[in-house]
Amino acid sequence: MSNESTTRGVPIATRFRQLIAGRKSSIGYFDRHNRKNKTRRSIVLCTCLALVGGILAFLLIASPGLAQKPKPQQPLLVATRVIPPFVFSNKGELSGFSIDLWRSIATQIGVESKFIEYSSVPELISAIKDSKANLGIAAISITAEREQNFDFSLPIFAGGLQIMVRKLESKSSAFPNILQLFFSTGLLQVIGIAIVLIVLVAHIVWLSERNHTEGMISQSYFPGIFKACWWASATLATQADEMPKGALGRLIAVVWMFIGVLFVAYFTASVTTSLTVQQLQGDIRSIDDLPGKVVATTAGSTAATYLREHHISVSEVPKIEEAYNALQTKEADAVVFDAPVLLYYAANEGKGKVQIVGTILREESYGIILPNNSPYRKPINQALLNLRENGTYQSLYDKWFSAKES
């Protein structure tokens, strides 16, 4: 009996140990499986973080808006045009105020550049619009219309439009000037005032003299008033041959004679001044004298737009040099263009041949033109401010303008 119990007990104990060992083996298997999954998840997470970080770093470096300063891989293409004293061209070498100013700006922002010449402002602007150039500098006016399609830097020069005419020859006849003066508005106004005063004084003298027995004027209104007007006119010209007889008439006559002396002096001075001004300035002195004249300027310029707005006939030419030639050959009566450019020409190539008349017609500012949203606008503006503060801008201005005034 004991042997049978022992025989039965052995398998039971063995089975129990096997069962316990199996459970331990299952727990170990699941534990190892979980550790492997955690390791894989860690590797995937680290890989994703590395990829995201790499993408952000690439966008930060590649985006021009986030970069502090644009770093072009090739020189900037700078469009310009020859327009003294802003831009000169001598055997392909460019110089002038705008050229020197841009070179100073390029040094400030640390970029290399290459100039491309165009013959006119419309061609220059078209090159920037078509991405053939990164920016443009010369004497380019900042206007509301251009600001809609392009960016501009801070103003680099303050100018405006002015009128240039031929210098009058001293041999010119005075007869046309006298005729023009005779029909001038100023002279007609003076004559009108004189007529009103003559009629007024004539009536006063007629009223005071008509009942005087020895009066110089008849009692009836006609022809008495005509005689009174003749006497008032002669006295105003200091040529009276008789005087009123009545006390009131004589008092009026004395006052009227003093007025006549002053009138003759004023009239003589006005005529002399007008003739002198015409000899010095001709018949074009301001914008009001341009209607009916042939006025030359460059095509597509702000001057051409200004003249059309004021209903003035304009002859548009491709280059300002052609406008100068038209003025000299009498194909044009005047040239309207940027004041600094005209002043430079009048003081140099046109010295003794042309003269500037009138005041600035419309003030304008010149700037550097760029495409919309250009990344170079802010660095250029910062450079311009630095050049003004450190005196470089003033030195360039004195070099190209102050020295030319003599």
Confidence of residue 157 (pLDDT cuts 50, 70, 90): very high
Q: Quote the Cα angle for 62-63-66, to 5°.
A: 125
Residue 113's pLDDT band, with cuts at 50, 70 and 90, is: very high
Confidence of residue 263 (pLDDT cuts 50, 70, 90): confident
Which has more confidence, 345 or 57?
Answer: 345
The yes-or-no verdict on residue 204 having pLDDT over 90 is no
pLDDT-derived band at 242 (thresholds 50, 70, 90) equals confident
pLDDT at 217: 78
Amino acid 372: pLDDT: 94
Distance CA 221, CA 68 (A): 95
* Confidence grade of residue 171 (pLDDT, cut at 50, 70, 90): very low
Assess whether the region 76-156+367-404 and the region 287-363 belong to the same CATH fold.
yes
Residue with tokens 């001004």: 277
Superfamily of domain 287-363: Periplasmic binding protein-like II (3.40.190.10)
Q: Rounded distance, CA 14 to CA 8, Å?
A: 11
pLDDT greater at residue 244 or residue 75: 75
* The pairing of beta strand 334-338 with beta strand 157-166: antiparallel
pLDDT reported for residue 7: 45
Distance CA 28, CA 242 (A): 149
Pick from 59-68, 125-134, 328-337: least confident: 59-68
Per-residue confidence (pLDDT) for residue 182, from 0 to 100 = 62
Is the pLDDT confidence value at 162 over 70? yes
Span 326-376, pLDDT tens digits: 999 999 999 999 999 999 999 889 998 999 998 999 899 999 999 999 999
Q: Return mean pLDDT, the chain.
A: 81
Chain length of the chain: 406
Under 8 Å CB-to-CB from 239, ≥6 apart: which residues?
Answer: none
Q: 12 to each of 8, 9, 15, 20, 80, how far by Cα in Å?
A: 7, 5, 5, 13, 106
- Is 406's pLDDT higher than 50? no
Would you state the pLDDT for residue 38? 59
Q: What residue segments make up the domains of the chain, in order of their start? A: 22-51, 76-156+367-404, 175-281, 287-363
76-156+367-404 maps to CATH 3.40.190.10: yes
Question: Among 38-47, 142-151, 227-236, 352-361, which stretch is predicted with the lowest mean pLDDT?
Answer: 38-47
Domain spanning 175-281, CATH class: mainly alpha
Confidence at residue 46, expressed as pLDDT on a 0 to 100 scale: 66
